[in-house]
Structure 1
């Protein structure tokens, strides 16, 4: 039975309003006036609501359904109970007409299809839908109303998350996911029974469902997280948020453990949460997930990679942060970075600082929130005790970051790093894609390069070199980050590395040593597919390292106040510096015990 038909919250969004409007089956919408919004008297207090009429009021134009709606504001009456609609806008160039009153509104294809599927037979549904209820052509109104969106979705009696039409056996996927979490709770984690339940799931259809555009939309995290009553709808089938999200989390965790798959949808974004004070929000997992995955999410406006989280913060205005679509992307990103630094949470940038490929004028201390991606946790960490991080004005104009730092050593030469295709974490060789010969040869070449550099120092024994090769090659792998707290899995990963290097021989009873080596090496090689290594660098002293982005000779290897790990900075010629990459260095003791003075650098 449908979740909506059983939901009292959903029923309260239904009304008899407008159901007696004369049907317009013979209306020629091609000659009608295009709908234009009437200005709201006060966008900070008023809302518009879309009333979706029953199916019986639809119009058929050349075989295409045109839904009929009314749009009213609450300027003169109390706002109604309404459902918030969360959906992926889709291609803005592909439009379908719908009737709003006696005028034509050209909605995106995704929205028109959603409304057609969601219509009731004999009831009007009251919706709040951003694309229609906000005048998107009015920058001032849009800025004010987007600032309110967190509260708008939190105040809805229910949120309907429209995933899309039925396809790829989505009905079957939802049916199986509906009980997976509950069924798994009765058996142990990765027990035989758990494995059987997982094996019985239609993985192809579940993965197709999870790959839909809705899950990548940057706004949906806020839209569904802030409301307790959320129903996901796909075609004519629906499922409660708890059943879908909890089952999906267990599904992907099981899939990673048993098959080596890895989820990039971050379903924790969709779990229910309440708005938090800015400082608490930045310390919450929501922040690292929201701001550490921009490269995997999508938005029609890059400013929304910041604005889409404002609804999760209950003191956003006290932090002097406001939605303003008249500002440039660079201004929005810089203001938000400033607010984080003022809140004393500069460590949030540890996964976010890297050169922007889009906004060349963005200061290097300001993350490009649209391109952020999670990086592996570094093997070692160090935070300077003397910690200064403050914003200042510079003579040439603009703002800079003054931060305490130790400049340890300069880069003397570099070598290219790993160029493997992005892949998945291989915790188990069963049902896993094979590693091709070219990938193996590239890893061997990379490891030999590091081994040669360390060997020329005549300082470390072979065991120390092998451990360093493993640590440097996997230090920026997101795969290693996923298992960082599991000593057994980390040990297994190291053994897999040793097998690949030929440091472990097969047991005597293995009939096919070559196949054994290939299978046993898989976990290490596949973990490197998620590696973020761009360069291997050497210095004039006995320090080597790997970097996430391109570095060059003359760059400084530094430790920055309040930030874990090693950073590579480049002088700009006017006494200032730019951040060019996060890095992992070896030997760590040399960096930690470096006698370079602590100074305050200006980062532009």
Structure 2
């Protein structure tokens, strides 16, 4: 790992060597052995990229070298979202055409344009799409375990969030001539924030990002040196630019980078703070994060964006990696078996990761292995070694069996969908897994059969199902800024007639109180009293069609009102069960069809109940659930509960 002072010295040395020659021959140096077309990598080899200087409109040219990683080469590593893999732009790689995704093309183009500010042109860059032969499955499998070392040994991690639209008009024109597409950097914020600005007054993306980064830098300086509290500093630096900054935050926090599986570990593996690039603007990640932490405290609607959730998890993981590195050097630390260490660390990363997306489903796991290895210092057992030649369903099966066997963490059941062929029902679909810290327990009791097909748990049956409503597609009922779908209103009326009103009669409490419990902790996201959840529910149920908005509502108030609507839609789309005692049960998995004979039960080692289906003398696992009101709602399924409860074996297949 290079100390910061060494990096600064290196940058000074590199920049002193800048010259005006733009020819490839002068730039590439003598006696090179080009690494493209690809040749086999040695055990310690990596490929590194150089960008050839050029004018703004010149085609991008790059050189590719193959060097030993232990020779301590100086290089930056790039963390970026691939984008649509089917829409590409050609560069010249060692003089030959080479197609890369549009987002990577924009990143290389921007780096070449920064030649007077940065030294990207005069040192190496490591970028996975080019430096790993993506067509060679064996090479991809061998390189995945080395990712941690590659990012750790780089000078700095460069996070590329995309171009900023109007600032890249000439590049946009070139791209539009190559492919028929919607410009990737103009991806709208998620549906939650659509329509917040009118077309007439909508600021440019470049202007909002520029204002955001300037404000964040100003906040950082005052945060470091001022003795005032964070909210006072925030108000001071925002001034009259609050609306512009807010739009910049919402735009930036919904960039695809914040959802990718690989981008979770990449900024965590290097000890230096990553540098964030959004078009021509840049800022160190810790400065942006410090500002956003304070901003979310004042403007809670931003906490619903994927980017904020990812940043919080990312910094917790960075701290976890730092703490674990210290622990590894402590000879007095409590020793664990290698398998237990790996399994528990894997679950810890998953609980901090949040939602992840990947082009290859196996990368939901492979994309965080570098973090697991960095935190534990352990080598993976042979059955977990990355292998892109086997089906991803088998990868999921192998890893879930390993985790169940060695740490018994039943939070792996917390899956929103599962459509995996030829695997047991208890194997989670890691693409739809959401592990909650609050659902962790310290007393798992799990065993797995030798053929890894049956999972044996201890548990007991809970309440009896009185009625239920299957889930529906969120897309069919989700409201936007302008319209409340008829299907949404009908769904809410169905829930009121069959669930809320009947639960109210059985429990003898008001429907409004039942609804508030059903909405759960999401209510705490909304600080103002613009409209209660019950008022919003009744309005949405009674008034389908064009959404009515008061002319006096501010932009932030519009966000909050629409946020309530989306929370209600999200909860209403889930399957819902009514028990005979009036308890309401929210089924977490959205793609199942409930049957009257299905069984709600509690497993020892899980804080959440589960829904299972009898299959012969064994059970098919369906979903984890949450109790949302009723006699079972205050029940903690902890050690005290099981000390007073008789349990029985459940065999899941």
TM-score, with normalisation over the residues of structure 1? Answer: 0.75
Q: CA RMSD in A?
A: 4.4
Look up the match of 1:408.
462
* Greater helix share, structure number: 2
Aligned to 1:264: 306
Q: Determine if the alignment matches structure 1 residue 194 to structure 2 residue 235.
A: yes
| C-alpha deviation, 1:444, in angstroms | 5.8
Structure 1 residue 110 corresponds to structure 2 residue 110: no
What corresponds to 2:146 in structure 1? Answer: 148
Contact 1:414 1:536 in 2 (8 A): yes
Distance (whole Å) between structure 2 residues aligned to residue 19 and residue 74 of structure 1: 29
Indicate which of 317, 330, 349 corresponds to 2:379: 317
1-structure distance, mates of 2:470, 2:562: 23
Unaligned regions of 5+ residues in structure 1, if any? 26-32, 425-431, 484-488, 503-514
Cα 1:187–1:365 change in 2 (3 A) is farther
What secondary structure, in the 3-state scheme, does the structure 2 residue paired with 1:313 have? helix
TM-superposed deviation, 1:303 = 0.9
Do the aligned partners of 1:143 and 1:325 also contact (CA within 8 Å) in 2?
A: yes
The correspondence of residues 353-364 of structure 1 with structure 2, limited to 5 A, is 353-357=415-419, 359-364=420-425
Alignment of 1:232-311 (within 5 A): 232-256=276-300, 259=301, 262-265=304-307, 266-271=310-315, 272-273=318-319, 274=321, 276=324, 278=342, 281-282=345-346, 284=348, 286-290=349-353, 292-294=354-356, 298-311=357-370
Structure 1 residue 222, shift from structure 2 partner: 0.9
Secondary structure, counterpart of 2:454 in structure 1: strand
Deviation at 1:81, TM superposition (A): 1.3
Q: Normalization by structure 2: what TM-score?
A: 0.70
CA contact (8 A) 1:83 1:157 kept: yes
Specify the alignment match of 2:51 in structure 1: 52
Single out whichever of 217-226 and 181-190 deviates more from structure 2: 181-190
Secondary structure (helix, strand or coil) at the match of 1:36 reads: coil
* Distance in 1, Cα, partners of 2:584 & 2:391: 40
Paired position in structure 1 for 2:503: 454
Task: Report deviation, 1:372.
Answer: 2.7
Residue number in structure 1 paired with 2:428: 367
SS class of match (1:208): helix
1:53–1:69 CA contact under 8 A, matched in 2: yes
Per the alignment, residue 218 of structure 2 pairs with 179
In structure 2, the residue matched to 1:93 is 86
CA deviations over 1:161-199 (Å, ceiling 9, x no partner): 122223312333322232235546755455696388376
Structure 1 position 496 matched with structure 2 position 532? yes
Match of 1:470 in 2: 516
Supply the distance in 2 between the matched residues of 1:192 and 1:81 (Cα, whole angstroms).
39
- CA change 1:434–1:91 in 2 (3 A) is closer
- Give the superposition deviation at 1:90: 2.1
Measured in 2, the distance between the counterparts of 1:370 and 1:345 equals 20
Write the deviation string for residues 529-571 of structure 1: whole angstroms up to 9, x where unpaired.
Answer: 4427523323466655332334221100000121112111112
Q: What secondary structure sits across from 2:447 in the alignment?
A: strand
Question: Cα gap change, 1:11/1:255 in structure 2, threshold over 3 Å: closer, same or farther?
Answer: farther
1:579 to 622, 646, 652: 622
Does 2:586 align with 1:546? yes
**In structure 2, how many angstroms separate the alpha carbons of the residues matched to 1:228 and 1:344?**
29
Q: Deviations over 1:339-358 (max 9, x none)?
A: 322342514325x334414x
Q: How many residues align?
A: 537
Q: How does 1:555-566 map to 2 (within 5 A)?
A: 555-566=598-609
Cα deviation, residue 252, structure 1 = 3.6
**Please, which runs of 5 or more residues in structure 2 have no aligned partner?**
27-33, 166-204, 325-340, 539-551
